[in-house]
Amino acid sequence: METLNNTLFLLINANAQSPGFLLTLSTFLAEWLIYSVPLLLVYLWVRGSHPDRVAAVTATMGVLFALGCGQIINMLWPHPRPFMIGLGHTFLAHKQEASFPSDHAIVFFTLGLGFILTSLRKLGSLILLLGVVVGWSRIYLGVHFPFDIAGAFLVAVPSAWLVVKTLRRCHLDELVVDKLEPIYQRLLS
């Protein structure tokens, strides 16, 4: 499996002949697109309907749960990043820490799946696609292996499903939003 992971990485990873515009675009996607997530969640809360708010809160809880699962996996199996083993080319500065699974990909995949499982299917599908693009860019720039991105998806699927189903079953999604909405309205009135 490791040989396949390395081979796929080398097929995707940029090199010295890679076009500058593609490196710039990849850097934007890999480093900056993640900041659109909190902006999107704030937008859904401020401008969205009650079901949009429920979806945003539920998907956010799913992301937090998935990130926690990812950290546990990271501690139990600290897989090195490509640049830590001298593989390929690195075009993005990154700390020397375990790479499996990718936190960036976990955020996008879990958020997208959370939205798909609630009421925002089209938005969720777009976010899933962005997760694939962000994952590709992080491989292209040399900070993740392909299996880091695939592993993130494998963490995201059960995490999103479990959180959405649990919150719905206990009506905690509605309860949380019902408690937060009056606070939000008092603060802005």
Helix (H, G, I), strand (E, B) or coil at 86: coil
pLDDT digits (tens, 9 = 90+) for 49-90: 889 989 999 999 999 999 999 999 999 999 999 999 999 999
pLDDT in tens, 124-140: 999 999 999 999 999 99
Confidence of residue 189 (pLDDT cuts 50, 70, 90): low
Please state, as a whole number, how many other Cβ atoms lie within 10 Å of the Cβ of residue 126.
Answer: 13
Three-state SS at 98: coil
Composition of the chain by helix, strand, coil, percent to 5: 80, 0, 20
Question: What percentage of the chain reaches a pLDDT higher than 90?
Answer: 79
